[in-house]
A and B are shown apart, each in its own frame.
Chain A
């Protein structure tokens, strides 16, 4: 263990290297650029490759190449850049290539701005590109988790041969906090399916094309089975002061940090409130959510997007209890007071 004070965007790179990642292909974009800076600084001297690609499209296809070759590989971007990468991510999912994509979300749509938002939720959690695929999505809310979940992302990617996102907002990327770094992993898992330029791998084929509808349907069914296992086994969520909670606040990323303070404040005022923070957005933490809905009077989802997260919460709760939304957009962050007042208002209503 070594403790350091640094930015989320730097922690995710150092964690990745400790997790055996030795290739970074990316294109600069605010507020994710420090990830490229750190990768440029450290990848080569740790025995890896860094390339600033000519475009986001090229970058994700370099990732496709490195993943085909059996490497642990990553890229990073933000909203507009992720939109451009979607084609390649669909190919990675179709060809079942493990890779890690970090999305430090900024304001949208279009050029939007560079302030923090959570408006990439749909384009990341719902797949985003073409075809029947899913990606695993981890949502860190601290610099420590940028390291920890970043490392976990590589394990999950290899375990399921699937792209994994680390999805967070400009604040978590830009902020600095102390991080404890673990020892590096011993060895990355053996990938007998990869193409390595060896006799043993010369019968291997990486592809996403299946001309015959029956074959492609079988391939799709196989993917859906994989996603079902992911849904069953990989749900992760943090519950904060939920034991006797009658009101549950739901949020991820920077919002969950604010919610934690709101919960403490409301608890001091005697309000029985707790927080559920999805750590995995796919798989969505349906188990803890359903469980909490049994005893809660209502849920309040707080997000920095136009109700993208609340849609999923409502799908799970199926109208059993009211699910409300409080949101800000454009790079504005909901304040402790705003959320506090919203809870008080909803309590009067219910």
Chain B
């Protein structure tokens, strides 16, 4: 049976998107490689029956208008970013066939990071990289693949190693990565090489369709207009000169042993989302917190010490427990490098009223866990306020005489319990006992929900009790 030669159905019959009167021919120059490569891709999409599933990404460059021609889903993207866009699309629709199509400036200059990392992640996409050693659309400037000595608009005396370095060999670079499955450099030169390119295009697309494999096909092609050559001369140049500088051939092929990649996502029902996100309202015994519902609490607490003393978690425990007692609460850390090794502090507000500013400039309570903190914040405490300081670490007494002062050897008490790190919870116990802020029972019961390190819960509970006992003894 005779095949009727006709335009591939993966192309539009009439290029309606193309402006101007001519809706039947492409915008590509005679001799240009894009038209041929488009044709090979479209034919393969037809033959594999995947036109509907295909999403074609048009780059910046002469192929920016590939969407005039391909009757597939089309996305036009920024210069160099096609592989990143392809990533977003393929991850959303793993069943689709995503083609990332780029020229040499797009892929090997401005988009170097995007192609390297899409390749390194082994995205299930097919990359077609058209290398014609020159910028076409912008008017014949040097490409990263321009040959040594080649004259372009921006290398008017020819590319030199001294000024521009060497042409970049992308296929060889991509082939050094572990994730790419099939990497080959082919050319559109004579009929024979073009027919070989046809086979390579088909192999690459098939590997995506069947295995979600990342493949990278570099296609050496001609740009007769910018090379100022006739179409036939330019093809000859590709074959004789370009291919001599960029060796053709398979650079990597692990397609046989490559296991199909499953890109499907987890299926999670809407009804399961709250559980998955751990969105759970804490259960609190309303009888136990009843005595605290009418208390007119309005505490502004500053907690300060060395990084590593648990200053921030002292604050979060106080505020979380406050929330469980139906107080309004906020917690604000001094964040960033200060947290790593230096001093740390946080502002905690616990109030019956809605909280405006979460910042604490003049605390009602200062918890100082080291000397620099006491030095820094002592004078900010409001008159009639409270200073709690760890006198097992701080070698001076506060000088204020208009505030209440509790000296508690929190670190020493924690050491006696077996772990220095519990000093912060000793202070939690002391504070809630001294101010009667909350139910100790509720705090102890809820500690497991609040602390990250589950193996230290018992120790921390003991520390809270120890802190409270210290205050009780003080009050006696």
B-binding residues in A (CB < 8 A): 1-5, 14, 17-18, 22-23, 25, 30-31, 42, 44-49, 51, 53-55, 57-59, 61-71, 73, 87-88, 91, 95, 113-115, 170-171, 174-178, 181, 183-184, 186, 195-199, 201-209, 211-212, 215, 254, 257-261, 264, 333, 335-337
**A212 contacts B19, C-beta separation under 8 Å:** yes
Neighbouring A residues of B116 by C-beta, 8 Å? 54
Q: Contacts A2-B274, A49-B265, A178-B323: A62 and B87 contacting too (C-beta < 8 A)?
A: yes
A104 vs B31: C-alpha distance when bound (angstroms)? 51
Please state if B73 and A201 are interface contacts (CB–CB under 8 Å): yes
Q: How many A-B residue pairs have CB under 8 A?
A: 234
Task: Chain B residues near A18: list those with CB within 8 A.
Answer: 273, 277
The answer to whether B97 touches A57 (Cβ under 8 A) is no
Whole-angstrom distance between the Cβ of A335 and the nearest chain B Cβ: 6
Question: What size tier do the contact residues of chain B reach?
Answer: 35 or more
* Contacting pair A115 B336 (CB below 8 A): yes
Closest chain A residue to B263 by CB distance?
A49
Pairwise interchain contact B279-A4, C-beta atoms closer than 8 A: yes
- Contact in complex: A260, B356 (CB < 8 Å): yes
Bitwise, B334-368 to A at CB < 8 A (1) or not (0) is: 01110000000000000000011111010000000
In the complex with contacts A5-B323, A25-B88, A69-B89, A333-B359 CB distance below 8 A: yes
Complex contact A335–B331 (CB within 8 A): no
- Classify the interface of chain A: helix, strand, loop or mixed: mixed
Known: A202-B72, A260-B357. A64 touches B81 (CB 8 A): yes
Interface hit among B33-41, B51-59, B223-231, B247-255: B51-59
B276: CB under 8 A from chain A? yes
B73 near A204 with CB under 8 A, answer: yes
Residues from chain B with a CB closer than 8 A to the CB of A17 are 273, 277
State which of A44, A54, A199, A202 has its C-beta within 8 Å of the C-beta of B114: A54
* 6 residue pairs bridging A and B, Cβ less than 8 Å apart: A64-B84, A181-B279, A197-B96, A207-B76, A258-B357, A261-B356
Asked whether A257 lies within 8 Å of B357 as measured between CB atoms, the reply is yes
B433 is an interface residue with CB less than 8 A from chain A: no
Please state if A195 and B88 are interface contacts (CB–CB under 8 Å): no
Q: Interface code B310-338, partner A: CB below 8 Å = 1, 0 otherwise?
A: 00000010011001000001111101110
Nearest B-chain residue to A49, judged by Cβ: B91
Distance in Å: Cβ of B54 to nearest Cβ of chain A: 7
Contact A202 B73 (CB under 8 A): yes
Given contacts A49-B265, A260-B356, contact A31 B335 (CB under 8 A): yes
Q: Kindly list chain B residues whose C-beta atoms are within 8 Å of the C-beta of A70.
A: 92
A62 and B84 contacting across the interface, CB-CB below 8 Å:
yes
Contact of A42 among B76, B277, B331, B357 (CB under 8 A): B277
Q: Return the chain B residue nearest A22 by Cβ.
A: B265
Contact of A54 with B265 in the complex, beta carbons under 8 Å: no
Cβ contacts under 8 Å, B330 to chain A? 175-177
Distance, CA A173 to CA B95, complexed state (A): 37
Contact of B85 among A54, A68, A178, A203 (CB under 8 A): A68
Q: Which of A31, A69, A336 contacts B93 (CB 8 A)?
A: A69
Cβ-closest chain A residue relative to B120: A54
Q: Does B185 contact A (CB under 8 A)?
A: no
CB distance from B102 to the nearest CB of A (A): 13
